[in-house]
């Protein structure tokens, strides 16, 4: 976790600017105070800044300010998901109920605001039982069963369960199993595996590696193993494997110090259909690592061989789209690819617009922004139902 120090004087200046309702220039000055700090202190400063904005003007404005911060500071962009989780957690504290806090979130920075709200809600309970989680992500007139909005709620539930149960992966997954429907459960599993890995990565950044290669700095790492980079996926029940392998390369890359060529080799160890999932997971991580730089994504995915490259691009284009729930960046990546990979890329865009837009015409409009000869590949998937 971030543990930087923020001077009392600096905090007074920052809060004074915010609560005084200063001008845009004053806002920029306060952000400059944060940006001048060393990394950990800077992230703490951004958190305090966002908290103050949230309290004064609401979650929506805090998210807008975070978007502005990430445009100016690449380090903040890399840390945007933890930062927006924090916004979600504080939103629950401000609004008092999970449904009300969720209503103020937006689908930015991998939808971390929703995840943070659910984390805070579950942490507020003395005990968590299955009956507490079943009503949390309802289907309604405005939220369809398989919508991106509902996925975010279920995924956030997985994050919250993992934190609530002190990173007991098996107990968290068992609570996801209480949800009705395989899609609901799968969405929740993904949040469990993501929280396990992200917390491990934060612990790695916060503490230098101990002697003897001991990476076990945090309770979460009991479910990661530097001697078996595919653990826990390598030992779990089949029903959890798709969600597990869809996140596992984030752990693999952390242990390998982001040696992407070696990560492809690790995915090649996976047996059966989940090998494809692993390569797509690697594509997602390459997208995040490069901050969605199409040129760098092309370079790093091509460290694989044959179909590995294709699956890597599919994973990358999904991340391009899901980062801010917007198909346009994904279409831009598809345009940058060589001919052999374009059709699958555009078909993946078609797949991803389904949960984004209930309206078929909106899906079609997104597809029509692509290159003329590949519009049909996108439409065939986007308008299939």
What is the reported pLDDT for 203?
Answer: 78
Specify the pLDDT at position 222. Answer: 60
Sign of CA dihedral 346, 349, 353, 355: positive
User: What is residue 220's predicted lDDT score, i.e. its pLDDT?
Assistant: 42
Q: Parse the chain into domains and list their residue ranges.
A: 7-96, 125-222
Give the C-alpha distances (Å, rounded to integers) separating 265 from 22, 199, 229, 304, 333: 54, 25, 11, 8, 25
Unique residue bearing structure tokens 């975070």: 66
Q: How confident is the model at residue 200 (pLDDT cuts 50, 70, 90)?
A: confident
Mean pLDDT lowest for which of 4-18, 54-68, 155-169, 232-246?
A: 4-18
Residue 360 clears pLDDT 70, i.e. is over it: yes
Closest CA to 219 of 37, 13, 1: 1
Question: Which pLDDT does position 207 carry in this prediction?
Answer: 63
Question: What span, in angstroms and rounded, lies between the C-alpha atoms of 81 and 77?
Answer: 8
Residue 240, token pair as written in the block? 């959890």
Q: According to the model, what pLDDT value does residue 1 have? A: 35
The rounded mean pLDDT for the chain is 88
- Rg (alpha carbons) of the chain, rounded to whole number: 21
CA distance 197 to 252: 10
CA 178 to chain centre: 23
> Whole-angstrom Cα distance, residue 334 to residue 327?
11
pLDDT of residue 87: 97
The answer, yes or no, to whether residue 176 has pLDDT greater than 70, is yes
For the chain, percent of residues with pLDDT exceeding 70:
89
pLDDT band at 30 (very low <50, low <70, confident <90, very high): confident
Q: What pLDDT is stored for residue 211 in this prediction?
A: 39
Mean pLDDT, rounded, for 18-38 = 70
Does position 358 have pLDDT exceeding 80, yes or no?
A: yes
> Mind listing the pLDDT tens digit for each residue in 228-281?
999 999 999 999 999 999 999 999 999 999 999 999 999 999 999 999 999 999
In this structure, of 134-138, 242-246, 374-378, the range with the lowest mean pLDDT score is 134-138
Residues contacting residue 195 through CB under 8 Å, at least 6 positions apart: 158, 159, 162, 163, 167, 220
pLDDT of residue 26: 60
Whole-number pLDDT of residue 304: 97
């Amino acid at each position: 976790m971030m543990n930087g120090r923020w001077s009392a004087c600096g905090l007074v200046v920052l809060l004074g600017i915010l609560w005084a309702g200063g001008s845009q220039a004053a806002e920029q000055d306060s952000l400059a105070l944060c940006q001048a700090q060393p990394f950990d202190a800077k992230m703490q400063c951004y958190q305090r800044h966002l908290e103050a904005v949230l309290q004064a003007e609401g979650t929506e404005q805090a998210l807008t300010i975070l978007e502005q911060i990430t445009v100016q500071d690449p380090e903040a962009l890399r840390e945007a998901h933890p930062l927006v989780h924090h916004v979600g957690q504080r939103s629950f504290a401000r609004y008092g109920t999970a449904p009300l806090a969720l209503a103020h979130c937006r689908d930015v920075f991998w939808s971390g605001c929703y995840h943070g709200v659910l984390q805070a809600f579950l942490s507020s309970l003395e005990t968590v039982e299955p009956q507490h989680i079943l009503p949390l992500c309802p289907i309604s007139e405005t939220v369809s069963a398989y919508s991106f909005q509902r996925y975010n709620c279920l995924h956030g539930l997985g994050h919250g369960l993992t934190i609530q149960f002190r990173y007991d992966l098996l107990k968290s997954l068992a609570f996801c199993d209480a949800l009705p429907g395989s899609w609901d459960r799968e969405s929740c599993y993904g949040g469990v595996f993501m929280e396990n890995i992200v917390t491990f990565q934060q612990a790695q950044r916060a503490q230098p590696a101990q002697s003897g290669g001991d990476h076990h700095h945090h309770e979460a790492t009991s479910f990661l193993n530097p001697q078996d980079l595919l653990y826990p996926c390598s030992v779990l029940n089949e029903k959890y494997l798709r969600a597990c392998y869809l996140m596992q390369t984030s752990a693999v890359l952390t242990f390998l110090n982001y040696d992407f060529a070696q990560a492809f080799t690790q995915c090649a160890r996976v047996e059966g259909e989940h090998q494809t999932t692993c390569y797509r997971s690697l594509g997602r991580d390459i997208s995040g690592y490069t901050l969605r730089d199409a040129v760098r994504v092309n370079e790093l995915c091509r460290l694989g061989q044959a179909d590995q490259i294709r699956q890597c691009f599919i994973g990358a284009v999904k991340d391009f789209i899901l980062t801010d729930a917007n198909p346009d960046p994904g279409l831009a990546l598809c345009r940058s690819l060589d001919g052999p990979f374009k059709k699958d890329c555009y078909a993946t865009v078609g797949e991803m617009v389904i949960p984004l837009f209930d309206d078929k015409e909106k899906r079609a409009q997104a597809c029509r922004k692509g290159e003329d000869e590949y519009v049909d590949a996108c439409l065939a998937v986007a308008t299939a139902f």
